[in-house]
Amino acid sequence: MSLNLNAIGLSGILAAEAEFAATESNLTNASNPNYSVESVNLETLAGAGGAGAGVSVLGVQRADTPFLDSEINQANASQSFYSAYSQPLQAAENIVAPSSGTDLGQAVQTLFDSFSNLAASPGDASARSSVLSAAANFSQIAQSTSSDLSQAAEQSVAGIATMVGQVNQDAQQVAQLNGQIIVEQANGGSAPALLDQRDALVNDLASLIGASADSNGNVSVNGTPLVSGTAALTLSASGSGASSSLQIALPQGTIQLSQPGGEIGGALSAAASLTSLQNSLNSFVTSVANAVNAQQEAGYGLDGSTRVPIFEVTDGEPIALNPALNTQNIAAAASASGVPGDGSNAGAIAALASAVGIDSSLPTGNAQQVFAQITSQFGATVQTAQNNQTQAAASLNSLTTLQSSTTGVSLNAELTNLIQYQNDLQATTQAVQAANNMVSYIIQEL
């Protein structure tokens, strides 16, 4: 049986070099969170009679956790969604219930209290001035609350255009990598570095818009394709605030992207929640203003005037104080003959504080109960969002730690491998040298 000792030895040197390269790559990327530890696949070469004739390097493979990858992307999308959703809502809590100053509920009560005082002293100039001041304060707080919530909704989606641009950039890169990976794998390679790059981009897309991908790198959002093979579709945004929407351009037109996840989905949902809160509070304010106006217009002022509203109420707009209102035409009296000593109409306005059904959202509640219901429901929404964010962050951390136990680089293990491969290389080199010496001896003896 004839053996090519040099060839066997050289195959060992090539294998050791490949293992050295993989180890060097692992050590270099030890702190890279988007890197999966690599190893070399070796195969025994068979010689005559099936005896070992060296070693062949089949390629380099990376540690892979496909199931965990999917779970991590979902957790990442969830954590990003609730982070983008809860932050604007937490800021809005201070708009609705400021830590200092007066909120809408307090302003309403102050207004009713001022009418109660007026009912007791209908001709008192100071009491009338207090009503005027309380009405102005209520309308001003109503306007600022509505305006601040509108601005908060706009700000929550202010970064949508930038994020959409990043989504399109990531999608294009995934499509390009898909093409490169196809070529590498067709040529017998495993393309571990390209797969790592693609996984990182898919993870970023999950964080941005809640995207998911299959093993071939096809990316979708709630079933709507974003990357198909080597082709990337284009995402666009339109509208503003709560009316913002997303579309994906297809060859035959566009398709609406419903319920996106990730940071973009969280921002859009925050805008919708803030607009809903604004509408609820505007409805509450309008209901109070209409009730007060109706009773005010039924009474008479010191100047004998009647049907003078306290507030200007316009559909779709915050209320405003009637610029024609003054201390003389505040209708404290129930009849013209009762002026100036009658305060019964002012008392009727004050009684609205305890009237049930003042707002249709709570037919069995008074004004304070309606406001408390709106704020408590919003507070529960904020608390749920915060809890969900905490849970998603914990889940993401747990899954990432579990994945790292498989795909992460162990410096101790790699340093141990480095010593082993160095010893292998030295031994193989000595074997080749021994084979060369043997050949030289035989030649000299012939």
CA distance 295 to 330: 11
Span 88-94, mean pLDDT?
96
Mean pLDDT score across all residues of the chain: 92
Beta partners for residue 219, in sequence order: 213, 227
| Cβ(427)–Cβ(9) below 8 Å | no
CA distance 410 to 36: 11
pLDDT, one tens digit per residue, over 341-366 is 999 999 999 999 999 999 999 999 99
Show the CA angle centred on residue 336, arms to residues 334 and 341, nearest 5°: 70
Instruction: Kindly indicate the confidence band of residue 428, based on its pLDDT and cuts at 50, 70 and 90.
Output: confident
Checking if the pLDDT of 431 tops 80, the result is: no
Other C-beta atoms closer than 10 Å to the C-beta of 261 total 23
pLDDT, one tens digit per residue, over 365-409 is 999 999 999 999 999 999 999 999 999 999 999 999 999 999 989
**Confidence (pLDDT) at 156:** 96
Q: Tell which wins on pLDDT, 47 or 327.
A: 327
Residue 240 sits at φ, ψ, to 5 deg, of -150, 160
Span 190-213, mean pLDDT?
96
Beta partners for residue 2, in sequence order: none
CA distance 436 to 5: 9
Checking if the pLDDT of 446 tops 70, the result is: no
Span 290-306, mean pLDDT?
97
**Confidence (pLDDT) at 315:** 84
66 CA to centre of own chain:
24
Q: Tell which wins on pLDDT, 208 or 423.
A: 208
Checking if the pLDDT of 197 tops 90, the result is: yes
**Confidence (pLDDT) at 1:** 44
Long-range CB pairs of 114-120 (<8 Å, 24+ gap) are 115/346, 115/347, 115/349, 115/350, 116/346, 116/347, 116/350, 118/330, 118/332, 118/343, 118/346, 118/350, 119/332, 119/343, 119/344, 119/346, 119/347, 119/350, 120/343
Checking if the pLDDT of 270 tops 80, the result is: yes
Enter the tokens of residue 258. 């419903």
Is the four-CA dihedral 163, 276, 88, 207 of positive or negative sign?
negative
